[in-house]
């Protein structure tokens, strides 16, 4: 999948990795989602120059994106409840196609790139 890009400068990621031992699991326009060794998620906002603890939704999003990049981290992802339904926006895949043929994560709040919606 080609929906990942890391516009936050590599030297910033390297500095944070060295200081806090984090793994860069996903990036957006100016955000980097960083997984700590304890499983917490930090969000680095390069435009603001700040790193903060992730919200519950940001942490879940980072876990799902991390598992897409590192399959061994699948254990972090939320378990799909038996009565959950496939997200209609991404048809259960967690990503949506672009006109150029690449895919990007499903950004609907109910899905949060999981591919399913909680009942
Ligand atoms: Zn979706």
Q: Are residues 92 and 46 in the same domain?
A: no
pLDDT tens, position by position, 55-88: 999 999 999 999 988 888 888 999 999 999 999 9
Could you tell me which residue, 2 or 109, shows the higher pLDDT? 109
The CA 87 to ligand 1 mean position distance, Å, reads 4
- Looking at the fold, whether 87 and 118 belong to one and the same domain comes out as yes
Both 13 and 53 in a single domain?
yes
Whether 65 and 26 have beta carbons less than 8 Å apart is answered as yes
The reply to whether 43 and 32 lie within a common domain is yes
Q: 110 CA to middle of ligand 1, Å?
A: 8
For residue 38, how far is its CA from the centre of ligand 1 (angstroms)?
28
The verdict on 110 and 58 lying in the same domain is no
Mean pLDDT of the chain: 87
What is the total residue count of the chain? Answer: 119
Identify the bridge partners of residue 44 per DSSP, sorted by sequence position. Answer: 32, 51
Question: Do 30 and 58 lie in a common domain?
Answer: yes
Residues 3 and 19 in one domain: yes
Average pLDDT over residues 36-42: 90
Same domain, 118 and 107: yes
**Co-location of 57 and 6 in the same domain:** yes
Report how many domains make up the chain.
2
Element (H, E) at 16: helix 10-20
* 38 and 71, same domain (yes or no): yes
Alpha carbon of 117 to ligand 1 centroid (Å): 8
- The share of the chain scoring above pLDDT 70, in percent, equals 92
Ligand 1 centroid vs 12 CA: distance in angstroms? 30
Q: Which domain holds residue 54?
A: 1-77
């Amino acid at each position: 999948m080609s929906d990942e890009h890391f516009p936050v400068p590599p030297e910033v990621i390297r500095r944070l990795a060295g200081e806090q031992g984090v793994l860069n699991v996903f990036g957006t326009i100016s955000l980097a989602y960083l997984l700590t060794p304890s499983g917490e998620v930090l969000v680095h906002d390069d435009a603001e120059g700040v790193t903060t603890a992730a919200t519950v939704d940001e942490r879940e999003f980072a876990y799902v994106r991390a598992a897409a990049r590192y399959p061994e981290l699948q254990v972090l992802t939320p378990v799909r409840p038996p009565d959950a339904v496939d997200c209609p926006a991404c048809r259960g895949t967690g990503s949506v196609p672009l006109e150029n043929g690449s895919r990007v994560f499903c950004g609907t709040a109910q899905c949060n790139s999981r591919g399913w919606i909680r009942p």
